[in-house]
């Protein structure tokens, strides 16, 4: 129960522990949330059939968590948080832009998860006749926020233990939920849902990517950095991908069957993604459902607040890591208050948030993945903190590449449900894609384009720089190089 004192510093070899399979617990615990069932309604909302939605979910979820796995390899190579390792590509101060975007994304995610837990609690209490109004929401917000903040402030060891508990409890109760509501699945109704267009299918794939793995890539190395250097890179990739993907995939399948069986339920999920799922439960299981819903959401939010604190430090805030987590906690509570008590449309704002920040994060991810792929040796850890070191102060090429990829990406995404995003999609008409109301408007191609531009641009423009950086490093033993 010690508070972790590590912030952006390198984890010493003496403190590195565990095996790659231990990565399963934090990633599974953070993604076993009941929210995964709601993604079934979200996917069908793109106007596609069950089979299209299933394929879109498998492709989007597995591929996006595979990206997390590749980024996680950098953690065991460099022993530092993700947004510090990113300095090898961007330079020490050049990485500031990526750190700020990463911080915004993680704070946004922890806010969304806290809001969902608060609304779900109020819905359950309302059905039980124990309240459900403003007072209940306030109490729920306080309790949920306290759980998240305690985990985030305490740090790595507590998070790893907490996620193991969350995994077991939520796993068992989620299975019970599926058994209890299985009678609400009507296969003939689901199978009759007509197929959508290729553009609608692509839009669902991109949404799944941004809703799952792409929301975690900027934190993927924060947990693998504690592994011993000799850990297998393939095992790190495999356990990260498996741990993150398996629960969302199973939950998505059943969520598709539920939402496809009832149009009413599908619409209700858009307003209250967790609470709507209680409407088909027997009253006696509402309290266990509240437990599984809250713990699942807390599991994801704890990882977010931990990584958002690290990203805030990487962006330049000079305070201890626990204090950075507390700063994020204040913003999290303020954002939750807005979503729960002010905003009327949850799903529209949620999709807008994912796609808008998903574009620059995709660009960063492409650059980071290419940089990791180009490197054959471990990072020079001391140079990650020195502006005059081998990684430099500001690397112009990756910074410009991020800005250009983001500008192009934002021109290829739209979200009609969020009025503050009507400026996006400005390239759809010039490129002959039908404009903001055309067939490609909802495909959100900008996320994939930004990822591809970041990756291809870095491979083409940074190869010599990486080779020059590594030429001065000491040789790495052959068995470590293979790992």
Q: Note the pLDDT of residue 476.
A: 44
User: CATH number of the domain that 477 lies in?
Assistant: 1.10.4160.10
Instruction: Work out the pLDDT band at 344, boundaries 50, 70, 90.
Output: low
φ, ψ of residue 408 in degrees (nearest 5): -70, -40
Query: Under DSSP, is residue 424 helix (H, G, I), strand (E, B) or coil?
Result: coil
Q: What is the C-alpha to C-alpha distance for residues 368 and 214, in angstroms, rounded to an integer?
A: 13
Query: Under DSSP, is residue 444 helix (H, G, I), strand (E, B) or coil?
Result: coil
Q: What is the mean pLDDT of residues 463-478?
A: 72
Average pLDDT of the chain to the nearest whole number: 86
Give the Å distances, CA to CA, from 62 to 148, 251, 355, 357, 435: 27, 14, 18, 20, 31
Q: What is the mean pLDDT of residues 269-279?
A: 77
Q: Note the pLDDT of residue 53.
A: 95
Q: What is the mean pLDDT of residues 287-293?
A: 83
State the residue range of the domain holding 391.
Answer: 17-482
Instruction: Work out the pLDDT band at 280, boundaries 50, 70, 90.
Output: confident
Instruction: Work out the pLDDT band at 482, boundaries 50, 70, 90.
Output: very low
Residue 186 lies inside a defined structural domain of this protein: yes
Q: Is the pLDDT of residue 104 over 70?
A: yes
Domain count within the chain: 1
Instruction: Work out the pLDDT band at 308, boundaries 50, 70, 90.
Output: confident
Q: What is the mean pLDDT of residues 211-230?
A: 89
Residue 1 lies inside a defined structural domain of this protein: no
The model's pLDDT over 127-166, given as tens digits with 9 standing for 90+, comes to 888 777 888 888 888 988 888 888 777 766 777 777 778 7
Residue 10 lies inside a defined structural domain of this protein: no
- Assign residue 244 a region: left if phi > 0, alpha if psi is -120 to 50, beta otherwise? alpha
Residue 166 lies inside a defined structural domain of this protein: yes
Torsion 49-55-57-59 (CA) sign:
negative
Instruction: Work out the pLDDT band at 3, boundaries 50, 70, 90.
Output: low
Q: What is the C-alpha to C-alpha distance for residues 71 and 82, in angstroms, rounded to an integer?
A: 8
Q: Is the pLDDT of residue 478 over 60?
A: no
Q: Is the pLDDT of residue 226 over 90?
A: no
Residue 2 lies inside a defined structural domain of this protein: no
The model's pLDDT over 178-199, given as tens digits with 9 standing for 90+, comes to 888 888 899 999 989 999 999 9
Residue 150 lies inside a defined structural domain of this protein: yes
Q: Which of 183, 227, 175 is nearest to 22 (CA)?
A: 227
Q: Note the pLDDT of residue 402.
A: 96
Residue 86 lies inside a defined structural domain of this protein: yes
Residue 402 lies inside a defined structural domain of this protein: yes
Q: What is the C-alpha to C-alpha distance for residues 466 and 459, in angstroms, rounded to an integer?
A: 10
The model's pLDDT over 425-463, given as tens digits with 9 standing for 90+, comes to 999 999 999 888 888 988 889 999 999 999 999 999 999
Q: Is the pLDDT of residue 317 over 70?
A: yes
Q: Is the pLDDT of residue 392 over 80?
A: yes
Q: Exposure pattern of 101-135 as b/e (b: 16+ CB <10 Å)? A: bbbbbbbbbbbbbbbbbbbbbbbbbbbeeeebeee
């Amino acid at each position: 129960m010690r508070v972790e004192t590590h912030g952006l510093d390198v984890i010493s070899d003496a403190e590195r522990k565990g095996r790659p399979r231990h990565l399963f617990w934090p990633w599974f615990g953070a993604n076993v949330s009941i929210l995964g069932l709601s993604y079934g309604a979200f996917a069908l909302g793109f106007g596609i059939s069950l089979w299209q939605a299933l394929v879109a979910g498998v492709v989007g979820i597995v591929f996006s968590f595979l990206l997390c796995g590749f980024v996680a390899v950098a953690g065991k190579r460099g022993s530092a948080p993700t947004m510090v390792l990113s300095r090898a590509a961007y330079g020490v101060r050049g990485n500031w832009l990526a750190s700020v975007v990463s911080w915004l994304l993680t704070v946004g995610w922890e806010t969304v998860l806290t809001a969902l837990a608060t609304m779900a609690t109020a819905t359950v209490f309302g059905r039980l006749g124990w309240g459900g109004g403003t007072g209940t929401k306030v109490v729920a917000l306080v309790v949920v926020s306290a759980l998240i903040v305690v985990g985030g402030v305490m740090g790595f060891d507590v998070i790893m233990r907490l996620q193991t508990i969350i995994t077991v409890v939520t796993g068992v109760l989620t299975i019970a939920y599926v058994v209890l509501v299985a009678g609400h699945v009507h296969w003939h109704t689901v199978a009759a849902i007509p197929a959508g267009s290729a553009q609608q299918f692509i839009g669902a794939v991109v949404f799944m990517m941004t809703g799952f793995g792409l929301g975690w890539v900027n934190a993927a190395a924060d947990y693998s950095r504690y592994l011993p250097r000799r850990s297998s890179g393939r095992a790190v990739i495999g356990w990260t991908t498996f741990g993150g993907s398996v629960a969302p995939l199973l939950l998505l399948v059943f969520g598709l069957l539920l939402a496809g069986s009832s149009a009413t339920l599908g619409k209700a999920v858009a307003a209250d993604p967790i609470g709507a799922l209680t409407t088909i439960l027997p009253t006696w299981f509402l309290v266990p459902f509240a437990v599984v819903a809250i713990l699942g959401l807390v599991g994801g939010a704890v990882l977010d607040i931990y990584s958002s604190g690290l990203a805030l430090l990487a962006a330049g805030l000079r305070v201890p890591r626990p204090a950075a987590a507390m700063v994020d906690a204040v913003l999290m509570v303020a954002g939750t208050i807005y979503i729960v008590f002010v905003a009327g449309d949850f799903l529209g704002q949620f999709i807008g948030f994912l796609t808008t920040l998903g574009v620059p994060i995709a660009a960063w991810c492409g650059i980071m993945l290419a940089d990791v792929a180009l490197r054959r040796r471990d990072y020079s850890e001391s140079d990650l903190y020195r502006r005059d070191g081998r990684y430099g102060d500001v690397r112009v090429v990756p910074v410009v590449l991020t800005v250009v990829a983001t500008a192009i990406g934002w021109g290829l995404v739209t979200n009609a449900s969020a009025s503050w995003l009507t400026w996006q999609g400005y390239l759809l008409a010039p490129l002959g894609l039908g404009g903001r109301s055309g067939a490609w408007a909802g495909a959100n191609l900008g996320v994939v384009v930004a990822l591809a531009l970041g990756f291809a641009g870095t491979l083409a423009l940074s190869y010599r720089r990486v080779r020059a950086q590594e030429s001065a490093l000491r040789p790495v033993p052959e068995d470590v190089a293979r790992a």
